[in-house]
Amino acid sequence: MNRSLFFSILIATLILFPGQGSADNAPHKIAGFALGEQIAIFVDLVRMETATIIRDQQYLRIVEIGDLEGYKSGNIVFGNCARPGQIVRIKLKYEYSDKKFYNELLAQFKKRFGEPDEWRGDPFHVIVAWKWSFRDKDNNKISLTLQYSRDEDYKWGNSVKLTNTTLVEQERTCYQKKHPGKSDSQKSKASAKKRKLREKDYLQFIPE
């Protein structure tokens, strides 16, 4: 898609919604995906063969998006316990990776959602990230992060992450109830193993 056209569509989508700071202003949708909906609704927009359980977060599954105009890549996270298949997070990388696009998009985000609540980047601005926090009409916690990265060892470019943290917590709680003490046991084993390390053992973790 032509960059100017894509950006115009983004701006139009953002400014169509009135108000700032209200429950009605909490975002839930982007690029055709919607938080709280079942992943089955969007099978034509994702590659279901890539769906897998997230390591260390077995209460969640993740799937890659398909080809979407204006987006280079992305993934959708959905529940695996309390409400299997329910979308809890949408993370997308824009096709346009330059800082100018980020600044223009950030300005539009601010017009739509007000000033961000939290800085999530690094002190050297290699990663520039701003986060907004909301409560929707159902009292769900919604977070929105817009990020630019020029770290060659990270994911270069611009990305957006939209999360229903309330739903994530419900999935985590469900898993913990079904597997009581499992996470605590894993932490205890890791701590015990660490205590057994001797000074010379740390040499394996240091570059030569």
Residue 182 has pLDDT above 50, yes or no: yes
Whether 21 is in a domain gets the answer: no
Q: Where are the beta strands (DSSP E) in 66-181?
A: 71-79, 87-94, 118-119, 127-135, 141-149, 157-164
Residue 20 has pLDDT above 50, yes or no: no
Residues 6+ apart with CB under 8 A from 137: 23, 24, 26
Whether 204 is in a domain gets the answer: no
Whether 197 is in a domain gets the answer: no
The residue segments making up the domain with residue 55 are 3-16+33-183
Q: How many domains does the chain have?
A: 1
What pLDDT, in 10s, does the model give residues 38-75? Answer: 999 999 999 999 999 999 999 999 999 999 999 999 99
Whether 205 is in a domain gets the answer: no
Lookup: tokens for 98: 């330059």
Any long-range contacts for 176-183 (C-beta under 8 Å, 24+ apart)?
A: 178/81
Whether 188 is in a domain gets the answer: no
β partners of residue 76: 63, 90
Give pTM, 2 decimals.
0.82
Whether 125 is in a domain gets the answer: yes
> Is the distance from CB of 102 to CB of 119 less than 8 angstroms?
no
- What is the rounded (10 degree) CA torsion for 2, 126, 112, 170? 110
Whether 190 is in a domain gets the answer: no
Whether 106 is in a domain gets the answer: yes
- The reported pLDDT for the residue numbered 21 is 47
Least confident of 71-80, 117-126, 168-177: 117-126
Local confidence band at 25 (pLDDT 50, 70, 90 cut-offs) = confident
